[in-house]
Structures are given as C-alpha cells and as structure tokens.
Amino acid sequence: MGLRERYDFDSLVNEAERLVIEEMGRQLPRNKGLCTCEECVLDIAAFALNQVRPRYRASLLGSIYARQGDASAFAKEIEKAVADAIRRIKANPAHD
C-alpha cells in the first residue's frame, strides 16, 4: 500500500499559494491590456509561485506557524513575484 492510500495528503497546503492568489486579486485589475483568460492567469500564478519560498502547513497549528516570522518581508516577496509574473506573461501571453 502506497503512502497516498494510507495518509490524507489533501490537508498539506502551501500557504504561499493563498497569498499569491490574494496578491493577484489586488494587482490584476490594475494591469490594463493584460490577458485574463484562465491559461494566462494560471501561468501568472505558477510563475509567481516558482519565485517565492513555499510555506507548507498540514494542520491548523501549522497555519499559525506558516504565517509567523518575517511576514512583512514575505509579503513584499509575494508582491514582487506577482508583479514580475504579470510583466512576464503580459509580454509573452500563452496565446496570440
């Protein structure tokens, strides 16, 4: 029996994903001329997530730990990663 059959990995969550999506919600509306089709928006999310440190948690207590620490610095890292991703995808959309 494999690990996926023995344990519920659905509770393993990357907090950075939530933060990137929230930041995208703030930045996307301000970017005129940006394609917001699903493919481009997912490309922006993936590009941004690949630029930031993951913050995984597996429990409620873990979510508290994931949000502690250098929250301000991490927020700036997320903001910059999303802005960079938007610039990159805007210049090279998934389609023509």
> What's the pLDDT at 83?
98
Residues 11-29 have pLDDT tens digits of 899 999 999 999 999 999 9
Residue 56 CA: distances (Å) to CA of 7, 14, 15, 87: 16, 4, 6, 27
The C-alpha angle with vertex 57 and arms to 67 and 78, in degrees rounded to 5, equals: 50
- Confirm if 34 and 28 have CB atoms less than 8 A apart: yes
- Which pLDDT score is estimated for 59? 75
Q: What is the mean pLDDT of residues 82-96?
A: 91
The structure's pTM equals: 0.83
Domain positions in the chain: 11-91
pLDDT tens string 33-63 = 999 999 999 999 999 999 999 998 887 665 5
